[in-house]
Amino acid sequence: MESFTFPFDINELPSTLKPFLRTLQSSPILPALKPSSVSDGVAAFLFLLSALGYITKGRLWDKPDPYYKVWFERPQLADGGSSNKGAVTRNIVQRLEEGDYQAVIFWGSQSGTAERFAETLGREFHTRFGINALVADISDFDVESIADLQQKYFAIFLLSTYGEGDPSDNAAGLWDWIKRIKDRATRVESLRYVAFGLGNSNYKYYNRVLDVVVDAFDAAGATSLMPPQRADDAEGATEEDFQSWKDDLFALFRSLGYEQKAVAYQPTVSIELGERVQSEKDDSVHEISMHHQQTSLNSAIFPLPVRNCRELFTAGDRNCIHMELDLGNNDLVYKTGDHIGIWPCNPDEEVERLLETLDLNERRKNTLRIAALDDSAKPKVPPGSTLEAAFRHHLEICASVSRKTVFDLAQFAPTPEAKAMLTEIGQDRTRYEQFTSSTHITLARLLKLSSSLEPWTALPLSFVVENLLSLQPRYYSISSSSVISPRRIALTALVVNKQVADENHSTINGLTSNYLLSASKLPSNAKAATPSFQHTSPVGGDGGTVFAHVRKSKIKLPITSSTPLVLIAAGTGFAPFRAFLAERAKLHALGKPVGRMLLFFGCRNRESDYIYRDELEKLQETLGDKLRIVTAFSRDGNNKKVYVQDRVAEESETVLEMLNAGANMYICGKASMAREVDGKMEEAVAQQKGMNESEVKNWTDGLKKRGKWRADVWG
Task: Check residues 415 and 543 and name the one with the higher pLDDT.
Answer: 415
* Residues 6 or more apart whose Cβ sits within 8 Å of residue 144: 177
Confidence check: pLDDT of 280 > 80: no
Is CATH 3.30.1300.10 the right assignment for the domain spanning 565-714? no
Give the whole-number percent of the chain exceeding pLDDT 90: 64
- Residue among 333, 341, 345 at smallest CA distance from 286: 345
Three-state SS for 370?
strand
Q: Taking the domain 91-255, which CATH number applies?
A: 3.40.50.360
| E strands present in 163-238 | 166-167, 192-199, 223-224, 229-232
Handedness of CA 349, 355, 359, 363 (dihedral sign): negative
Task: Check residues 374 and 513 and name the one with the higher pLDDT.
Answer: 513
Q: How confident is the model at residue 503 (pLDDT cuts 50, 70, 90)?
A: low
Averaged confidence pLDDT in the chain:
86
Whole-angstrom distance, CA of residue 82 vs CA of residue 99: 14
Confidence check: pLDDT of 206 > 70: yes
Task: Check residues 536 and 576 and name the one with the higher pLDDT.
Answer: 576
Q: How confident is the model at residue 498 (pLDDT cuts 50, 70, 90)?
A: confident
Look at residue 335 in the predicted model and tell me its pLDDT.
Answer: 97
Q: How many CA atoms lie within 13 A of 442 on its CB side?
A: 23
Of 378-392, 400-414, 450-464, 499-513, the one with minimum mean pLDDT is 499-513
Greatest mean pLDDT among 25-29, 385-389, 538-542 lies in: 385-389
Tens-digit pLDDT profile for residues 47-105: 666 766 666 655 555 554 444 333 333 333 334 333 444 446 899 999 999 999 999 99
The arithmetic mean of pLDDT across residues 29-41, rounded, is 58
Look at residue 714 in the predicted model and tell me its pLDDT.
Answer: 82
Look at residue 15 in the predicted model and tell me its pLDDT.
Answer: 55
Give the whole-number percent of the chain exceeding pLDDT 70: 84
Q: How confident is the model at residue 309 (pLDDT cuts 50, 70, 90)?
A: very high
Q: What is the pTM of this model?
A: 0.81
Look at residue 5 in the predicted model and tell me its pLDDT.
Answer: 61
Q: Do residues 426 and 403 touch, judged by C-beta distance below 8 A? A: yes
Greatest mean pLDDT among 26-30, 182-186, 321-325 lies in: 321-325
Look at residue 436 in the predicted model and tell me its pLDDT.
Answer: 86
121: amino acid identity, one letter? L
Helix (H) or strand (E) holding 45: helix 38-56
323: amino acid identity, one letter? M
Whole-angstrom distance, CA of residue 215 vs CA of residue 502: 44
Whole-angstrom distance, CA of residue 163 vs CA of residue 665: 16
Q: Do residues 469 and 341 touch, judged by C-beta distance below 8 A? A: no
Task: Check residues 262 and 113 and name the one with the higher pLDDT.
Answer: 113
CATH class of 269-278+286-292+345-467: mainly alpha
Q: Do residues 473 and 549 touch, judged by C-beta distance below 8 A? A: yes
Look at residue 571 in the predicted model and tell me its pLDDT.
Answer: 94
Phi and psi at residue 514, to the nearest 5°: -75, -30
The arithmetic mean of pLDDT across residues 126-148, rounded, is 93
Look at residue 81 in the predicted model and tell me its pLDDT.
Answer: 38
Q: Do residues 222 and 192 touch, judged by C-beta distance below 8 A? A: yes
Domain boundaries along the sequence of the chain: 10-56, 91-255, 269-278+286-292+345-467, 301-334+473-553, 565-714
Tens-digit pLDDT profile for residues 645-702: 999 999 999 999 999 999 999 999 998 899 999 999 999 999 998 999 999 989 998 9
Three-state secondary structure string covering 429-468: HHHHHHHHHCCCCCHHHHHHHHCCCCCCCCCCHHHHHHHC
Look at residue 529 in the predicted model and tell me its pLDDT.
Answer: 86
- Homologous superfamily (CATH) for 301-334+473-553: Translation factors (2.40.30.10)
The arithmetic mean of pLDDT across residues 257-278, rounded, is 88
Look at residue 42 in the predicted model and tell me its pLDDT.
Answer: 59
Look at residue 70 in the predicted model and tell me its pLDDT.
Answer: 34
The arithmetic mean of pLDDT across residues 575-594, rounded, is 96
For the chain, the residue count is 715
Look at residue 87 in the predicted model and tell me its pLDDT.
Answer: 45
The arithmetic mean of pLDDT across residues 108-135, rounded, is 91
Look at residue 541 in the predicted model and tell me its pLDDT.
Answer: 46
Look at residue 236 in the predicted model and tell me its pLDDT.
Answer: 79
Q: What CA–CA distances, in Å, run from 368 to 279, 283, 389, 465?
A: 16, 12, 10, 11
User: Which long-range contacts link 1-5 to residues 24+ away (Cβ below 8 Å)?
Assistant: 1/28, 1/31, 2/31, 2/34, 3/31, 4/30, 4/31, 4/33, 4/34
Look at residue 375 in the predicted model and tell me its pLDDT.
Answer: 74
Q: How confident is the model at residue 408 (pLDDT cuts 50, 70, 90)?
A: very high
How many Cβ atoms are within 10 Å of 69's Cβ, its own excluded?
8
Three-state SS for 410?
helix
How many Cβ atoms are within 10 Å of 334's Cβ, its own excluded?
23
Tens-digit pLDDT profile for residues 540-554: 445 589 999 999 998
Q: Which residues, in sequence order, are bridge partners of residue 630?
A: 600
Look at residue 171 in the predicted model and tell me its pLDDT.
Answer: 92
Tell me whether the CATH fold assigned to 91-255 matches the one assigned to 269-278+286-292+345-467. no
Q: Do residues 337 and 555 touch, judged by C-beta distance below 8 A? A: yes
Look at residue 157 in the predicted model and tell me its pLDDT.
Answer: 97
Tens-digit pLDDT profile for residues 282-299: 555 555 656 777 888 899
